[in-house]
């Protein structure tokens, strides 16, 4: 029984079925090759979505692009690995579970650390797979057998290994440092997690009395509550205004503490009074100045940003309440000398929106400079390429100015820092395994650091840890460096830059694990092969149809799953691909998706037409198994112009599409396939072969069979061309072509079409263009002349090139059928001037057709028109000769009136001559 396609194209049913099939059959598993020859390798790491995540349009674009590239490489015969996983997302996940606890009236502290972490694991088990399930709906051809979670035991082990090695190399240190502190999240956050925003604020001027003098020094601040922690006032050594005060002290108002006047570059003589307060515990620049002058660091706030015991009478107040109280007291005591409006670049926590407080705390840091140096070198040398290219400079500029990386977070969920402090002698022990004893005093009382690592620390290692590092695995040898990374600009510094730093550090000797018996690489070779990926493609943003950024507050967020349910995954993927020009944001309009659903529908109907004919001819539908592994159109016999043409076009398009994908011009690839499949294959080729295909004459049997065979061959090859962009519908029809007995388990494993020079036939393409142009011209002329659809018209053709005459004669029946023509004659003189004719570069064509006109009715209409025109002209003339009107009316109105009159006069003359032509009474 022939396998029938259902009458209507229903993407939902097809897509779920194939998504399950691909997964169940493990079709996208890249098994590790043994020793010996390895095919071309193409490997790609999926940017691991947060385990708390839901799929959004950005993911959908990202994954569509990755899937297109991966499927294309797989079909080209590469050993292809697309490695999926999820990120434990420290702070996001912890907050999710804390919210859940709050709804039960509990907090994480009620549970305690261990029980809380247990709870997070439960949460993850229950909800953590949601985003991966959504990915399956997209058809993402990832290797599900290799799925990882960043908190898996082996990956956590690798994280500890990296930490210990960096610590031993003195590249990880613990230090007091000013960090960005979020009082709501209760943790340090990195510079990248702080969003700055200009807001109107105040600049307060406060005067500090100089000890043993009646003088004051005036300083200015936007955060007056921090003065409680001042430990100096700085002036510039070159500032003459203060020379006489060098070496003196001031009294800190409200606190009545004496603090020194220091000489430091921090004070800029050009700015304000030239004197500044120094608060080492509450400002990053002051912190550095404090180190230079050995100043005490007085922390006046606690972790919730409430004033602490160091704030004297203000202890216990929230920072903003303290600000008010401090200002009131300064004013009352005569120390507040001015208040000015001032724009403040306020830093807010990206997650909670709380104003970030610079805070002194003990944190773990990565000494970044040695790592950054290599990460700069590999990009400067082109060992990693960026697309679009401008991201290279953006990356480098950031790397040139990079600061040490604060990697500790005051959270419970995450990779706990592998450092212990001896409860007795306070020795710090950093180790791979929990130490039983202090290695200094022998005490059995070491306590583990309570902080966890920044989530980006573990994700920075993924390109090598997900392949088995620190073991010298075969996976690492075969699949590292990965070939490509596709990601968004928003994580260029968070993630991309850090992967490069970590990859280049741990995948060069001596950190790089090497299998026994391998030759050592040269220094340069080792550097080139240490990169986590050879190319980075930074994709654009998906905006709404009006080019607005999608945001919850604007309410314009499109849920990709909803779009998919409405139009199908294939159409949604195609929309994104067709708009994904490198560096250009996508204005996503679902009406386009509807258009691409129609494209799928068109292909579906064309397939049904094909099967109808195959079945009618009683032929074996099954193609020879050679076909899908062929890189072109196999078994195609080019016997007619349209055959030679479609074969040539197919090869041209295949060449173009391969080139476009090579340089991530997804939009050009998708649009070219669309134009070919719909515009050329469905609209022209299928129409042109219909008479051959449907002929019932016995003498034409061979030609009919060839036509049918050609149709199936070209269709099958076109499906392969389209497959990476629309994987589901192509899989469905492809299986139907093989009648359920395909030579391979999936079209995804078939060969991607490559251009075959020998099948390119430019002459046929030119001839077909002329033929198409002729047919379209006749159709347009018929429409202009309002020829009834049923009426066949004779045409005359004048050729500028005689060569075309035989082409037209050979294809006479096609022209007659497709343009509804009954008689074609050739003439020796140009037809360009005739009414009902069209002039082109290669031919003139004339549709011989007398418009049948009801003369009486037409004359009546023309006379009425003439009357109206004459009335309008008379009115205009009257106005234009009225001097007082001319004096008052604006010039442009008068000019408009004159122009109108002129146009009406032209129309009047035309109408008059038509009336004469018709001989109206
Ligand atoms: Zn926060
Ligand atoms: Zn000890």
Give mean pLDDT, residues 669-683.
96
User: How far lies 455's CA from each of 50, 89, 189, 461, in Å?
Assistant: 10, 6, 11, 11
Q: Tell me, in angstroms, the distance from the centre of ligand 1 to residue 196's CA.
A: 14
Higher pLDDT: 630 or 193? It is 193
What pLDDT sits at residue 771?
Answer: 94
Residues whose CB is less than 8 angstroms from the CB of residue 685 and which lie 6 or more positions away in sequence, other chains included:
642, 645, 646, 714
DSSP letter assigned to residue 549: B
Ligand nearest to the CA of 193: 1
Q: Give phi and psi for 299, each to the nearest 5.
A: -85, 120
Tell the burial category of 74 from Cβ atoms under 10 Å away from its Cβ (0-12, 13-18, 19+): buried
Q: Tell me, in angstroms, the distance from the centre of ligand 1 to residue 410's CA.
A: 12
Neighbours of ion ligand 2 (CB under 5 A): 422, 424-425, 427, 438, 440-441, 443
Structure tokens at 406: 């604060």
Half-sphere exposure of 829 (CA within 13 A, CB side): 2
Q: Do residues 496 and 487 touch, judged by C-beta distance below 8 A? A: yes
pLDDT in tens, 225-253: 999 999 999 999 899 999 999 999 999 99
Instruction: In whole angstroms, give the CA distance from residue 252 to residue 260.
Output: 10
Structure tokens at 135: 């990915």
Q: What is the 3-state secondary structure (H, E, C) of 384-423?
A: CEEECCHHHHHHHHHHHCCCCEECEECCCCCCECCEEEEC
Q: Tell me, in angstroms, the distance from the centre of ligand 1 to residue 450's CA.
A: 19
Q: Tell me, in angstroms, the distance from the centre of ligand 1 to residue 406's CA.
A: 16
Q: Is the pLDDT of residue 106 over 90?
A: no
What pLDDT sits at residue 625?
Answer: 41
Tell me whether strands 446-448 and 419-422 are parallel, antiparallel or unpaired.
Answer: antiparallel
Neighbours of ion ligand 1 (CB under 5 A): 182, 184-185, 349, 351-352
Q: Give phi and psi for 14, each to the nearest 5.
A: -60, -45
Percent of the chain residues past pLDDT 90, beyond the cut: 62
Instruction: In whole angstroms, give the CA distance from residue 146 to residue 31.
Output: 10
Q: Give phi and psi for 58, each to the nearest 5.
A: -60, -45
Q: Tell me, in angstroms, the distance from the centre of ligand 1 to residue 183's CA.
A: 7
Q: Do residues 711 and 688 touch, judged by C-beta distance below 8 A? A: no
Q: Is the pLDDT of residue 2 over 50?
A: no
Higher pLDDT: 657 or 292? It is 657
**How wide is the angle at C-alpha 469 spanned by C-alphas 467 and 473, nearest 5°?**
65
Ligand nearest to the CA of 440: 2
Ligand nearest to the CA of 439: 2
What pLDDT sits at residue 629?
Answer: 61
Dump strand ranges (E) for 51-171. 79-83, 85-86, 148-149
Q: Is the pLDDT of residue 608 over 50?
A: yes
pLDDT in tens, 525-561: 999 999 999 999 999 889 988 888 888 878 888 899 9
DSSP letter assigned to residue 155: H
Q: Tell me, in angstroms, the distance from the centre of ligand 2 to residue 444's CA.
A: 8
Dump strand ranges (E) for 322-384. 336-349, 357-366
Q: Tell me, in angstroms, the distance from the centre of ligand 1 to residue 552's CA.
A: 19
- Confidence label for 574 from pLDDT (cuts 50, 70 and 90): very high
259 backbone φψ class: left, alpha, beta (φ>0; ψ -120 to 50) = beta
Q: Tell me, in angstroms, the distance from the centre of ligand 2 to residue 425's CA.
A: 4
Q: Do residues 637 and 714 touch, judged by C-beta distance below 8 A? A: no
Ligand nearest to the CA of 429: 2
Half-sphere exposure of 160 (CA within 13 A, CB side): 18
Tell the burial category of 390 from Cβ atoms under 10 Å away from its Cβ (0-12, 13-18, 19+): exposed
Global confidence as pTM: 0.81
Widest Cα–Cα separation across the chain: 126
Q: Tell me, in angstroms, the distance from the centre of ligand 2 to residue 427's CA.
A: 5
H/E stretch holding 535 reads: strand 533-539
Higher pLDDT: 554 or 484? It is 484
- Whole-number CA gyration radius for the chain: 39
Q: Tell me, in angstroms, the distance from the centre of ligand 2 to residue 187's CA.
A: 28
Q: Is the pLDDT of residue 311 over 80?
A: yes
Q: Tell me, in angstroms, the distance from the centre of ligand 1 to residue 189's CA.
A: 8
């Amino acid at each position: 029984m022939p396998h029938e396609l259902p009458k209507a194209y229903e993407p939902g049913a097809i897509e779920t079925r194939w998504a399950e099939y691909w997964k169940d059959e493990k079709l996208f598993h890249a098994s590790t090759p043994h020793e010996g020859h390895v095919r071309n390798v193409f490997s790609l790491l999926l940017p691991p979505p947060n385990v708390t995540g839901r799929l959004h349009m950005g993911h959908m674009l990202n994954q569509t692009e990755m899937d297109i590239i991966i499927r294309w490489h797989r079909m080209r015969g590469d050993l292809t690995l697309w490695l999926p996983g999820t990120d434990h997302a420290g702070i996001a996940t912890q907050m999710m579970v804390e919210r859940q606890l709050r709804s039960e009236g509990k907090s994480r502290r009620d549970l305690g650390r261990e029980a809380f972490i247990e709870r997070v694991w439960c949460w993850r088990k229950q909800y953590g797979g949601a985003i991966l399930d959504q990915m399956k709906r997209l058809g993402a051809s990832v290797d599900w057998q290799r799925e990882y979670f960043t908190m898996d035991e082996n990956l956590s082990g690798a994280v500890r290994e990296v930490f210990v090695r960096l610590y031993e190399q003195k590249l990880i240190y613990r230090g007091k440092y000013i960090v960005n502190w979020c009082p709501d999240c209760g943790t340090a956050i990195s510079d990248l997690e702080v969003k700055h925003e200009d807001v109107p604020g105040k600049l307060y001027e406060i005067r500090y009395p100089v000890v043993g003098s009646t003088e004051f020094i005036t300083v200015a601040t936007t955060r007056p509550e921090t003065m409680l922690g001042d430990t100096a006032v700085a002036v510039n050594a070159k500032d003459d205004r203060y020379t006489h005060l060098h070496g003196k002290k001031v009294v800190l108002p409200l606190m009545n503490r004496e603090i020194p006047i220091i000489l430091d570059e921090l004070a800029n003589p050009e700015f304000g009074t030239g004197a500044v307060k120094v608060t080492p515990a509450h400002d990053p620049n002051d912190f550095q100045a404090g180190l230079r002058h050995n100043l005490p660091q007085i922390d006046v706030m606690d972790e919730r940003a409430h004033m602490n015991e160091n704030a004297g009478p203000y202890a216990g107040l929230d920072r903003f309440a303290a600000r008010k109280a401090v200002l009131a007291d300064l004013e009352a005591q005569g120390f507040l000398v001015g208040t000015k409006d001032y724009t403040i670049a306020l830093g807010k926590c990206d997650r909670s929106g709380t104003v970030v407080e610079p805070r002194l705390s003990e944190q773990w840091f990565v000494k970044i400079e040695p790592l950054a140096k290599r990460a700069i070198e590999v990009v400067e040398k082109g060992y990693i390429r960026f697309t679009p290219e401008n991201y290279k400079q953006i990356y480098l500029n950031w790397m040139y100015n990079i600061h040490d990386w604060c990697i500790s977070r005051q959270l419970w969920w995450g990779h706990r820092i592998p450092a212990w402090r001896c409860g007795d002698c306070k020795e710090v022990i950093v180790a791979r395994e929990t130490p039983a004893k202090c290695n200094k005093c022998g005490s059995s009382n070491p306590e583990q650091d309570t902080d966890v690592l920044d989530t980006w620390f573990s994700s920075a290692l993924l390109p090598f840890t997900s392949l088995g590092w620190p073991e010298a695995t075969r996976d690492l040898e075969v699949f590292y460096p990965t070939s490509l990374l596709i990601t968004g600009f928003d994580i260029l510094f968070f993630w991309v830059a850090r992967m490069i730093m970590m990859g280049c550090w741990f995948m060069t000797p001596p950190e790089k694990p090497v299998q026994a018996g391998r030759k050592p690489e040269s220094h340069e070779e080792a550097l080139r092969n240490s990169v986590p990926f050879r190319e980075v493609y930074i994709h654009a943003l998906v905006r709404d149809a009006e080019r607005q950024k999608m945001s919850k507050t604007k309410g314009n967020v499109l849920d990709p799953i909803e779009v998919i349910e409405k139009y199908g995954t294939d159409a949604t993927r195609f929309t994104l691909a067709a708009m994904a020009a490198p560096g250009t944001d996508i204005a996503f309009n679902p009406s386009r998706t509807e258009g691409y659903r129609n494209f799928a529908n068109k292909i579906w109907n064309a397939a049904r037409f094909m099967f109808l004919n195959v079945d009618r001819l009683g032929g074996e539908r099954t193609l020879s198994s050679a076909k899908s592994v062929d890189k072109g159109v196999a078994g195609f016999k080019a016997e007619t112009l349209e055959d030679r043409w479609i074969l040539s076009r197919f090869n041209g398009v295949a060449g173009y599409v391969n080139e476009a994908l090579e340089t991530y011009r997804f939009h050009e690839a998708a649009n070219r396939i669309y134009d070919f499949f719909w515009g050329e294959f469905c609209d022209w080729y299928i129409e042109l072969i219909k008479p051959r295909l449907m002929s019932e004459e016995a003498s034409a049997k061979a030609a009919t069979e060839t036509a049918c065979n050609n149709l199936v061959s070209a269709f099958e090859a076109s499906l392969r061309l389209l497959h990476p962009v629309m994987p589901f519908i192509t899989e469905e029809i492809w299986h139907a072509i093989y009648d359920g007995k395909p030579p391979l388990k999936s079209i995804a494993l078939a060969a991607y079409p490559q251009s075959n020079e020998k099948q390119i036939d430019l002459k046929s393409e030119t001839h077909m263009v002329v033929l198409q142009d002729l047919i379209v011209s006749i159709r347009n002329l018929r429409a202009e002349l309002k020829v009834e659809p049923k009426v066949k018209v004779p045409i005359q053709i004048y050729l500028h090139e005689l060569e075309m005459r035989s082409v037209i004669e050979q294809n006479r029946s096609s022209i007659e059928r497709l343009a509804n023509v009954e008689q074609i004659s050739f003439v020796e003189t140009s037809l360009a001037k005739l009414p009902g004719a069209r002039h082109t570069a290669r031919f003139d064509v004339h549709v011989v057709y007398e418009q049948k006109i009801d003369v009486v009715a037409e004359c009546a209409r023309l006379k009425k028109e003439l009357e109206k025109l004459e009335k309008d002209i008379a009115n205009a003339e009257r106005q234009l000769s009225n001097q007082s009107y001319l004096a008052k009316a604006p010039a442009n109105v008068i000019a408009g009136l004159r122009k109108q009159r002129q146009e009406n006069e032209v129309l009047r003359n035309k109408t008059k001559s038509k009336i004469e032509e018709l001989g109206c009474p």
